[in-house]
């Protein structure tokens, strides 16, 4: 297995207990214990490709758009046995809302999770990057992937739940 393939595998499992101590920018973690989320839409991760464009298995996760108590929307990434990632900072990019966060692995390495959903119902993107630039929450210099290790589609599980997000994300 080459270095990039190992990174993709590690990044896919990088939701270890204690992520918050390793450093997260652009979101936070929540305990994996079952809790009620005000889910607005759910997405399946599919059609994944590695950095070379080769098909790879989709990570075993569930992505949902949720309504926070503040009335704003966030995306959550849930994986069995790991803390839930909450991506709560979004920027408008064309007709999409892009949520991005960076995770530290405790050894100085960082990866970026970037999830985008369309403002109107439709497919989005799920990407993990091993190189990126910018800063989470910085409108002048937002996080942007410069080398994508994993690129997947986000497909709405139920189109009736993939409502217009314009107001909740502004």
Please write the tens of the pLDDT for every residue from 135-146: 877 778 888 888
pLDDT score of 63: 93
Burial state string for 60-74 with b = 16 or more CB within 10 A and e = fewer than 16? ebbbbbbeeeeeebb
pLDDT at 19: 40
Place of tokens 């210099």: 141
Residue pair 74/66 in contact (Cβ under 8 Å)? The answer is yes
User: Is the model more confident about 26 or about 116?
Assistant: 116
Tokens of 84: 């839930």
Return the DSSP state at 167. H
For 82-100, how does the pLDDT look when each residue is reduced to its tens digit (9 = 90+)? 888 999 888 888 999 999 9
The pTM assigned to this predicted structure is: 0.77
Which pair of structure tokens corresponds to residue 132? 């990126």
């Amino acid at each position: 297995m080459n270095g990039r393939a190992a990174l993709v595998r590690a990044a896919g499992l990088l939701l270890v207990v204690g992520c918050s101590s390793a450093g997260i920018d652009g979101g936070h973690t929540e305990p994996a214990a079952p809790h009620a989320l005000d889910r607005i839409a759910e997405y399946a991760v599919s059609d994944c490709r590695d950095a070379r464009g080769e098909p790879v298995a989709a990570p075993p996760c569930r992505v949902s758009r949720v309504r926070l108590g503040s009335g704003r929307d966030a995306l959550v990434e849930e994986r069995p046995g790991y803390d839930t990632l909450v991506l709560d900072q979004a920027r408008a990019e064309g007709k999409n809302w892009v949520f991005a966060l960076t995770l530290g692995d405790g050894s100085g390495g960082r990866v970026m999770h970037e999830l985008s959903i369309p403002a109107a119902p439709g497919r989005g993107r799920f990407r993990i990057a091993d190189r990126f630039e910018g800063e989470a929450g910085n409108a002048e210099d937002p996080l942007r992937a410069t080398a994508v290790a994993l690129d997947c589609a986000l497909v709405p599980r139920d189109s009736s739940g993939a409502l217009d997000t314009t107001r909740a994300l502004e």
